Amino acid sequence: MTDPLRLYVDAQFTSPYAMSVFVALHEKKLPFDMVTVDLAALEHRGTGFSDFSLTQRVPTLRHGDFALSESSAITEYLDEVFPGTALYPSEPRSKARARQLQAWLRSDLMPIRQERATDVVFYRPSGTPLSAAAQASARTLFDFAEALLPADAENLFGEWSIADVDLALMLNRLVLNGDAVPPRLAAYAGRQWQRPSVQQWVRQARPAI
Ligand SMILES: N[C@@H](CCC(=O)N[C@@H](CS)C(=O)NCC(=O)O)C(=O)O
C-alpha cells in the first residue's frame, strides 16, 4: 500500500500549474484527494499550508510525509516514482526539450500570461485587445510551437507528454479568447483539450467570481 497522495490546488481551479499536476495524476491513474486553498484569503500564507509547502504556492503535492511544490518538479517526481502512462519522453533529447518547454512556459511570455490570465479559459473571455507586447509574445510562442510540432502530429514528441498539456493551455489562452492563432496550432490545442484527464479539470465546479 503506497503512501496517500494529496494535491493542493487553488479554489477557482484556474492555476495552469495545478492543472498540469492534476492531469499527471489522472494520467498515472493514481488515487488522490484534492484540497482547495483560497489564495484570495491568503490561506496559503497561514499556518497549516505554509508549514509543509516550502514555496507557499499551489500546486503542492503531499505524498505521505513528503511535500513538494513547483509543478514540473512534481510531475517529474510522479514519473520517476510511479508506473503507468509516461509523463515525459524517454529519449534524452526529447525529454530535455519537454523540460525546456515547461520551464519556458512558466518563466516567459509574461504579457500573454497577464493579458490572457487563465480566467479567460475557465471563466469568461476578455474583451480587451492584446497589446503590442502581448502580440510580440504570441508570435514568439507560435514560432516555438511551429518549430516543435511535426506536420500532422497529434503530440510534440510522438507519444503524448505533459508538455503537450502545458503548451495547449498557453495556446488556449488565445484560442478560447478569440485571438488569432495559426490554424494548425489552434487545431492541436483543441485536440489536446479533449483528452479525458484535461476535461476532468475543465469540468470542475467553479465558484462564481
Ligand atoms: N512555478 C510554479 C508557479 C506556481 C504559482 O505561481 N502558483 C500560484 C497560483 S497559479 C500561487 O500559488 N500564487 C499564490 C502566491 O504566489 O501568493 C509552479 O509551476 O508550480
**Digit-coded pLDDT (tens) for 36-67:** 999 999 999 988 999 999 999 999 999 999 99
With contact defined as beta carbons under 8 Å apart, do 158 and 98 qualify?
no
Of the candidates 31, 35, 30, the one whose C-alpha atom is nearest the C-alpha of residue 13 is: 35
CA of 119 to the centre of ligand 1 (A): 15
How many of the other CB atoms lie within 10 Å of CB of 183? 8
Residues 80-116 have pLDDT tens digits of 999 999 999 999 999 999 999 999 999 999 999 999 9
With contact defined as beta carbons under 8 Å apart, do 12 and 207 qualify?
yes
CA of 5 to the centre of ligand 1 (A): 20
pLDDT value, residue 2: 80
pLDDT value, residue 19: 98
Cα 82 to Cα 84: distance, rounded to the nearest angstrom: 7
Is the CB of 117 inside a 6 Å radius of any atom of ligand 1?
A: no
159 class by beta-carbon count within 10 Å (0-12 exposed, 13-18 middle, 19+ buried): middle
List of domains in the chain: 5-86 (3.40.30.10), 92-195 (1.20.1050.10)
Over 70: is that where the pLDDT of 1 sits? no
Segment 133-140 mean pLDDT: 98
Q: What is the CA radius of gyration of the chain?
A: 17
Cα 92 to Cα 111: distance, rounded to the nearest angstrom: 31
pLDDT value, residue 209: 84
Segment 179-201 mean pLDDT: 98
Q: Describe the crossing of helices 162-175 and 16-27 by its angle, rounded to 10 degrees.
A: 140
Q: What is the pTM of this model?
A: 0.98
Is the CB of 76 inside a 6 Å radius of any atom of ligand 1?
A: no
pLDDT value, residue 70: 98
Q: State the Cα torsion 174-178-180-185 to the nearest 10°.
A: 60
Residue matched to cell numbers 505521505:
64
pLDDT value, residue 66: 98
Is the CB of 44 inside a 6 Å radius of any atom of ligand 1?
A: yes
Residue whose CA lies nearest to ligand 1 atom number 13: 57
Is the CB of 15 inside a 6 Å radius of any atom of ligand 1?
A: yes
Taking every pair of Cα atoms in the chain, the longest distance, rounded to a whole number of angstroms, is: 54
Instruction: At 113, list the grid cell.
Output: 500570461
Is the CB of 7 inside a 6 Å radius of any atom of ligand 1?
A: no
pLDDT value, residue 129: 98
Segment 157-161 mean pLDDT: 98
Contact partners, residue 38, CB within 8 Å, separation at least 6: 11
Residue whose CA lies nearest to ligand 1 atom number 12: 57
Of the candidates 82, 59, 79, 84, the one whose C-alpha atom is nearest the C-alpha of residue 70 is: 59
Is the CB of 162 inside a 6 Å radius of any atom of ligand 1?
A: no
Segment 155-179 mean pLDDT: 98
Atom of ligand 1 nearest to the CA of 21: 20
With contact defined as beta carbons under 8 Å apart, do 166 and 16 qualify?
yes
CA of 195 to the centre of ligand 1 (A): 24
Segment 129-149 mean pLDDT: 98
